[in-house]
Amino acid sequence: MSNNTLTLPQEIQDVLALKEEYRAKLEKLGSEAVGKVLAPFFEKFFEVKSVRWTQYTPYFNDGDSCEFSVHEATIGIPNDKLDLFGLKADDAEEYEQDDNDSETTYYSDYNLHRYEGRTKKYSTPRAEELHDALVQINSTFSQLEDVLQGAFGDHVVVTAFRDKIDVEEHSHD
């Protein structure tokens, strides 16, 4: 009886080892870098508990190629600190509530303001600052999609806190 297993040349084994080393380094350094990117935000907005976003490759894109993307970040504010921004839990969309944490409400940049005619209005100057910072986070993340994918993976929801980053599987259409 013969062994049908193909033996890989040393060069291929070396390439595979380098790829794994690169993946592990990207995951570690990418996660640390994201923490550093968000540190000034958490320092300025001490009231904010977390920043959360989803990142994934869609399963279907109406015939177009399916490409990985990082979706809009939201910010988690403890319900007892909402009044500092002039917000109410009702201001957030239902999908932005966290089933595991009923004490925190998540807001997109859209939920941090309202329109009066064509003019954006904010409940407080602090809410306007928070909105602008979240817009900047989203802009930065859109430029870092490769880093975020390497650091956290595909089909995940990422929640960044001051001292750690949690990654969970994400189910989507």
Residues 15-42: tens digit of each pLDDT: 999 989 988 888 888 889 999 999 999 9
For residue 106, give the nearest of 160, 150, 26 by alpha carbon.
Answer: 160
Q: Determine the 3-state secondary structure of 70 from DSSP.
A: strand
Instruction: Indicate whether 2 belongs to any domain.
Output: no
- What is the reported pLDDT for 99? 59
**pTM of the shown model:** 0.83
Helices marked H in 85-173 — which ranges?
A: 125-143, 145-152
Residue 87 located in a structural domain: yes
Of the candidates 140, 112, 144, the one whose C-alpha atom is nearest the C-alpha of residue 128 is 112
Domain membership of residue 136 as a residue range: 10-169
pLDDT band for position 94 (cuts 50, 70, 90):
very low
CA-CA distance, 24 to 31, in Å (whole number)? 11
Domains of the chain: total: 1
Tokens of 11: 């060069």
